[in-house]
Amino acid sequence: MFFKKRGMSMKKIRVYLASQIFAECWSDYNEKLAQSIEKNFPQVELYAPQRNKAINDKTKCASAEDICQGDFTENLDNDDIVVAVVDGDTPGIGTTLEIGYFSRICEEEIKKYGKTKKRIISLYTDSRECSHTFLDAKNRKLKEFAECQYSYLNLLLVGCLKRYGVMCRTIDEVIKELGKAIALQQHNYEVITSIYEPGLNRWHTIMKDLDTGEYIDGYEQ
């Protein structure tokens, strides 16, 4: 074994795409969003659950625990940014769980370090919410029984989306905000030691997060 020279290393940015996935209209839209993210930010590592056929190809009948481990333990626990599609009469239950789970991770970082660089960037395109041009007409309709012209999102969910990130109305807005979030993540790590293990053909690296003081232990092929 020998030591690699000390230096600076950039963190790999991990992005999680949370959305409903089982209807064709949803999977097609998610793929459009995923490809837009990958085109604009080829440096990120994007995880879209619908692409994980091991747990989301329903002909394979993955267990509930396998799905939990695949989405939460193997991904959300290690991700930096969540892009969440919250459209629909109500956001998908799975999407809501993913947002709640990641919100807790954000909050734990805030308690530990006083801040978090993790972000939730949500996409909400419902035309009932976005049609502000017709506010007067919509408000007049509120006086009539069962004629509400507005959409509704659970306010606890909205609170998480706003506390730990930003809400967007279009994919273009998502891409813009994602660029900001990635830039925020792109801080340097100091490499403390990096040891080459010839038998395993890999580097065993210990780095220090210069913002938080946290040490990170990992391997690189």
Q: Would you kindly state where each structural domain of the chain is located, as residue ranges?
A: 12-186, 188-221
More confident residue, 14 or 137: 14
* Predicted local confidence at residue 129, as pLDDT: 72
For every residue of the chain, DSSP letters joined together read: -EEPPP-EEEPPPEEEEE---SSHHHHHHHHHHHHHHHHH-TTSEEE-GGG-HHHH-TTS---HHHHHIIIIITTGGG-SEEEEE--SSS--HHHHHHHHHHHHHHHHHHHHHS----EEEEE---HHHH-GGGHHHHHHHTTSTT--------HHHHHHHHHSEEEESSHHHHHHHHHHHHHHH--EEEEEEEEEETTTTEEEEEEEETTT--EEEEEE-
> With 60 as the cut, is the pLDDT of residue 94 above it?
yes
CATH number of 12-186: 3.40.50.450
> With 90 as the cut, is the pLDDT of residue 1 above it?
no
Which neighbouring-strand residues pair with 81? Answer: 15, 119
> With 60 as the cut, is the pLDDT of residue 106 above it?
yes
27 pLDDT band (50/70/90 cuts)?
A: very high
141 pLDDT band (50/70/90 cuts)?
A: confident
* Predicted local confidence at residue 152, as pLDDT: 85
Q: Average pLDDT in the 160-181 region?
A: 95
> With 50 as the cut, is the pLDDT of residue 2 above it?
no
Predicted model pTM: 0.77
123 pLDDT band (50/70/90 cuts)?
A: very high
> With 60 as the cut, is the pLDDT of residue 171 above it?
yes
Q: Average pLDDT in the 171-198 region?
A: 80
145 pLDDT band (50/70/90 cuts)?
A: confident
